[in-house]
Amino acid sequence: MSRSHRRAAKTPPWLGVLVDTDERWSNYLYILGTAYPRFLWLFFEYSGDGIVWLAIALAAFFQPRATLTQQTLVLNFLAGWALDLVLVGTLKFLIRRRRPVYNVAEDFLVVVAVDAHSFPSGHAARVSFIAQFLILCLGRAYPRLSFLAMYWAVSTALSRAAMGRHYLADVAAGLLVGVGTVLLVSKVH
């Protein structure tokens, strides 16, 4: 018996139905996404990239006028950024769900071995964490920022499926990882 047959035999029928539904809806969103220029999706992808946000955080930390409070917020952000990276990497390593077959990997910014896996979406986790972190820190002073941050996070997360990088379940799981990350960081804060 082949390896895939043994795995399929262990899979409960309800899980197979969920996976099939996820793949079907994800494929539908991907087909809809192909009607838009790829650079639009790449904009969202780059805006949610971890290296971009690491650079922004380090620039904010080392800016000459940064107060101790601001630097503390940046350190909390960096702790969440690192925790997000560890959680997503660990889940990808353990679950090892393949990316959709229609994923175009040539225009990835950086691909590491664990990033070959699809579940959960690291971009979705990251933007979920970043948006919620911004809302916690700045939402009262800048209420419109809360709306913009959530709009950006949801748009970026959905763009992952529209680009064919992830399935919708990967995106949903990533958003939940982001929620967990911000809850953990805000408890420590």
Residues with catalytic annotation? 123, 166
Q: Please identify which residue in the block is written with the tokens 């959530």.
A: 150
Q: Is the peptide bond before 64 cis (omega within 30 degrees of 0)?
A: no
* Token output for 174: 């990533």
Q: Read out DSSP for 19-72? A: HHHHHHHHHHHHHHHTTS-HHHHHHHHHHT-HHHHHHHHHHHHHSTT--HHHHH
First to last CA, the chain: 52
Q: Kindly write down the DSSP assignment for every residue of 105-145, as one continuous string.
A: GGG-S---GGGGB-SS-HHHHHHHHHHHHHHHHHTTT-HHH
Buried b or exposed e, range 141-179, using 16+ CB within 10 angstroms: eeeebbeebbebbbebbbbbbbbbbbbbbbbbbbbebbe
